[in-house]
Amino acid sequence: MELGILPGAGGHMSSFSWNSICKWKNLVFDPSRKTIKQRCVLKRDRHNTNSLVSCLTTGDGDTFIPSDTHLNAAKIIYSIAPAMGHNQEAHPESHLRVPAIVKALEKMELTPKFRGAEIIQLQNFRPASVDDIASVHTTSYVSGLEKAMERASEQGIIFIEGSGPTYATASTFQESLIAAGAGISLVDSVVAASKISRDPPTGFALIRPPGHHAVPKGPMGFCVFGNVAIAARYAQRQHGLNRVFIIDFDVHHGNGTNDAFYDDPNIFFLSTHQDGSYPGTGKFNEIGHGAGEGTTLNLPLPGGSGDIAMRRVFDEVIAPSAQRFKPDIILVSAGYDAHVLDPLASMQFTTGTYYNLASNIKQIAKELCGGRCVFFLEGGYNLDSLSASVSDTFLAFLGEPSMASAFDNPSILYEEPSARVKQAIQRIKTLHSL
């Protein structure tokens, strides 16, 4: 991995304090070993005095998941890893993204403070281990990025050559481990809940950097580690959930996830994305290879596709594919950059589109795999549409009415390319015998 100074970055960044981020995440920083560990803290929910966030040990690390009592009542369980130190001024993948979502959830009263046992926030979770990351990425990439942190500390920000517009700061490596760990811990929690409830909470990892463009050999397109891919391998290895169904509705093709599982018959990767958008991959005929042939499905949609198109896509492509595959768990690369207000694409998804997707995905997870489902934040670069759409996703998980009408403006929408959408759906149905 070749590293260079990001042009225009100025070569300077305010000093990064590990003690500050560790205090925020309730971590213990060991400066001598340059490692961080989770501190186990038991917290009583002030709305439910019988419920504790407890500490369980699974596998080779400590994972912190709620008690059986709390999990049995919950409908949503979410984690937050905003990577505040991983930031380049004016970059669209901003450190303001996750805080904007958190603020919106508070405003909509969609947090434990307002909802009690219905909604759980994982306050403590372990960062992913290097072994977790290496289940998807090459050890040379992982070690190369870790070594680059000293240089990033000296120069403030570095550009990772050959990866598209992907940068790194002094905190990128550790914060990317935290992001991946947030997703892994949600898998632990959702699996634990599914053992005591037929309707376990749906997980949502509010994390960055995003992950679905990161290829096995390196970062790409704002993405550092493949968070959803790492969680898929973890679900297989740690929980014996061998058949993993991944849905990626980000406006861009999840080429990193695609590549990681292209020859794997036990992981079904399904991506809908804007035709011709970055990074130019995800063609109809990319269907997998060898033993994995048929377990990769790429559906490029014409620009201008919106709610009508995605309703058809779900009914005619996503649901039948999942029903035929019979997954043990569903993981979702939840990108919100197909929204009509997003600056990096030209689709017409609305807040209501994301509500419907979340509701429908939750339902098929309940029908097919005991409700085991975890969403992972990917793209979404208009802070208003991003935060409104994630809030509506939470409402869908709760089974409550959408608030999209308070945000969406139908007057800015134009006619969808229905004929071209129909052709694309028919082509993929023929190709995959749906």
Q: What is the DSSP string of 250-297?
A: SSS--HHHHHHTTT-TTEEEEEEEETT-TTS---TT----GGGTTSEE
Q: Return d(Cα 162, Cα 221) in angstroms, integer.
A: 10
The pLDDT, as a whole number, for residue 230 is: 98
Contacts of 220 (CB under 8 A, 6+ apart): 163, 164, 166, 213, 214, 255, 256, 279
Q: How many C-beta atoms surround the C-beta of residue 276 within 10 A?
A: 10
Q: What average pLDDT does this structure show over 67-79?
A: 83
Strands 48-58 and 61-66: antiparallel
Q: What average pLDDT does this structure show over 66-75?
A: 76
Q: CA torsion, points 39, 118, 389, 399, in degrees to nearest 10?
A: 150
Burial class (CB in 10 A: 0-12, 13-18, 19+), 151: middle
The pLDDT, as a whole number, for residue 214 is: 95
Place of tokens 């053992």: 195
The one-character DSSP state at 96 is T
Q: What average pLDDT does this structure show over 142-160?
A: 91
Tell me the Ramachandran region of residue 203: left when phi exceeds 0, alpha when psi lies from -120 to 50, beta otherwise: beta
Q: What average pLDDT does this structure show over 347-356?
A: 98
Judged against a pLDDT cut of 80, whether residue 401 lies above it is answered with: yes
pLDDT: which is higher, 158 or 338: 338
Q: Return d(Cα 338, Cα 304) in angstroms, integer.
A: 9
The pLDDT, as a whole number, for residue 65 is: 59
pLDDT tens readout for residues 223-235: 999 999 999 999 9
Active-site residue, 213 included:
yes
Q: Quick one: pLDDT band at residue 194, thresholds 50, 70, 90?
A: very high
Q: Quick one: pLDDT band at residue 124, thresholds 50, 70, 90?
A: confident
* Residue 5 bridge partners (DSSP): 158
The pLDDT, as a whole number, for residue 67 is: 66
| Residue of 213, 252, 273, 432 with catalytic role | 213
Judged against a pLDDT cut of 80, whether residue 332 lies above it is answered with: yes
Count of CA atoms in the C-beta half-sphere (13 A) of 26: 13
Q: How many C-beta atoms surround the C-beta of residue 413 within 10 A?
A: 14
Q: Quick one: pLDDT band at residue 166, thresholds 50, 70, 90?
A: confident
Mean pLDDT is lowest, of 6-10, 205-209, 281-285, for 6-10
Asked whether the bond before 92 is cis by omega within 30 degrees of 0, the reply is no
